């Protein structure tokens, strides 16, 4: 058994989640927001793998969930960045506050 | 106390803890760099550092396969995609503009309160930790599970990735004149 208690992993994961949340809430640039979301998804994955290792190490479900989260994160990043590039091409800006075409 | 090589016992070094703290410095330091750096390109490089740290965590947690997946998918694909997107749209921000919006002074305290609440939850629950080790070949078990009891999620993820691939190409494609 590793000597690191489960609560350390959960603490690190909570810190990473909070930092990612701060990035997603405060960045003006859409790519910055996407990077914050990636940090949040990484925090979730640390939690999943830590719970797998400490609570159910003989059931691979935790790792499978983490792999599916990674796949969804990859899909999200690809579509999100494609949207950012398409918007930048039309509006010459990736600042989310200036994207108000649908307003009014 | 002077260092005495005869008394030095290598098995006394808390190697796992040292690696854990090194990876924590990588992950949390990288994440702080991502959200505070004024240059978006530097943010993306800090993001890569953070992904490396998380990969090290997976190694410490006996999830070697996930560590490799993390390196391939996050460092190899997502981080490179982010770097390309930043380089394709070079003048994303007018020079001298702040990277943070007007909500940062609200978001900071909210996020700190959230972190403290999460810590309180982590501290107040006694987790049913087992002493069991992962038995057998985990990669083998993962493959069998993906083609057995988790076949439908596996296929759905495959469809999702195909849709995302096609959608990304269509969204980012340059419109030609005859369209």
Q: Is residue B99 part of a domain?
A: no
Domain that holds residue B55: 10-92
B37-41, B80-84, B172-176: segment of lowest average pLDDT: B172-176
CATH number for the domain spanning B82: value is: 1.20.120.1200
Task: Identify the pLDDT of residue B34.
Answer: 92
Task: Identify the pLDDT of residue B59.
Answer: 92
Q: Is residue B83 part of a domain?
A: yes
Chain B residue numbers touching A61 (CB-CB < 8 A): 145, 150
Task: Identify the pLDDT of residue B109.
Answer: 93
Task: Identify the pLDDT of residue B177.
Answer: 57
Residue B63 near chain A (CB below 8 Å): yes
pLDDT category at A1 given cuts 50, 70, 90 is: very low
Mean pLDDT of A11-20: 95
Task: Identify the pLDDT of residue B98.
Answer: 66
Task: Identify the pLDDT of residue B104.
Answer: 82
pLDDT category at A78 given cuts 50, 70, 90 is: very high
Q: Is residue B127 part of a domain?
A: no
Q: Is residue B123 part of a domain?
A: no
What global pTM score does this model have? Answer: 0.88
Mean pLDDT of B48-70: 93
* Close Cβ partners of B130 (under 8 Å, ≥ 6 residues apart): A54, A55, A56, A57
Q: Looking at this predicted complex, what is its ipTM?
A: 0.90
For chain A, domains (ranges, CATH) are 6-98 (1.10.287.3510)
Regarding whether B143 and B75 lie in a shared domain, the answer is: no
Q: Is residue B1 part of a domain?
A: no
Count Cα neighbours of A27 within 13 Å in the Cβ-side half-sphere: 28
Residue B20 near chain A (CB below 8 Å): yes
B27–A17 CB contact, under 8 Å: no
Q: Find how far residue B122's CA is from the centre of its chain.
A: 21
Which of the listed ranges A52-61, A81-90, B148-157 does the model predict with the highest average pLDDT? B148-157
Domain boundary among B34, B65, B92: B92
Structure tokens at B24: 């924590």
Mean pLDDT of B73-86: 90
Task: Identify the pLDDT of residue A15.
Answer: 95
Q: Is residue B125 part of a domain?
A: no
Regarding whether B30 and B85 lie in a shared domain, the answer is: yes
Task: Identify the pLDDT of residue B90.
Answer: 67
Residue carrying the six token digits 């996050």: B74
pLDDT beyond 50 at A41 = yes
Provide the domain count of chain B: 2
Mean pLDDT of A8-18: 94
pLDDT beyond 70 at A44 = yes
Q: Is residue B113 part of a domain?
A: no
Q: Is the dihedral of CA A47, B150, B79, A98 positive or negative?
A: negative
Regarding whether B81 and B143 lie in a shared domain, the answer is: no
pLDDT category at A13 given cuts 50, 70, 90 is: very high
- Best residue of A1, A26, A34, A95 to probe chain B, by most B CBs closer than 10 Å: A26
Regarding whether B84 and B23 lie in a shared domain, the answer is: yes
């Amino acid at each position: 058994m590793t000597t690191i208690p489960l609560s350390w992993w959960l603490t690190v994961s909570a810190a990473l989640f909070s930092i990612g949340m701060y990035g997603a809430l405060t960045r003006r640039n859409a790519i910055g927001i996407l990077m914050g979301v990636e940090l949040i998804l990484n925090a979730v994955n640390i939690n999943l793998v830590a719970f797998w290792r400490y609570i159910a190490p003989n059931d691979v479900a935790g790792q499978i969930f983490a792999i599916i989260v990674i796949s969804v994160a990859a899909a999200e990043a690809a579509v999100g960045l494609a949207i950012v590039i398409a918007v930048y091409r039309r509006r010459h800006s990736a600042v989310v506050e200036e994207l108000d075409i649908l307003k009014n | 106390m002077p260092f005495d090589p005869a008394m030095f016992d290598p098995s006394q070094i808390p190697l796992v803890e040292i690696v854990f703290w090194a990876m924590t410095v990588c992950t949390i330091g990288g994440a702080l760099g991502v959200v505070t750096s004024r240059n978006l390109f530097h943010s993306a490089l800090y993001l890569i550092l953070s992904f490396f740290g998380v990969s090290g965590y997976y190694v410490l947690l006996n999830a070697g396969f996930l560590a490799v997946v993390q390196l391939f998918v996050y460092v190899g694909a997502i981080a490179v995609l982010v770097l390309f997107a930043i380089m394709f749209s070079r003048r994303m921000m007018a020079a001298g503009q702040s990277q943070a919006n007007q909500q940062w002074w609200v978001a900071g305290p909210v996020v700190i309160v959230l972190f403290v609440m999460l810590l309180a939850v982590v501290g107040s629950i006694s987790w049913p930790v087992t002493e069991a080790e992962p038995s057998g070949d985990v990669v083998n078990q993962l493959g069998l599970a993906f083609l057995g009891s988790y076949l439908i999620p596996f296929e759905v993820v495959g469809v999702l990735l195909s849709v995302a691939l096609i959608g990304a190409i269509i969204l980012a494609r340059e419109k030609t004149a005859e369209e």
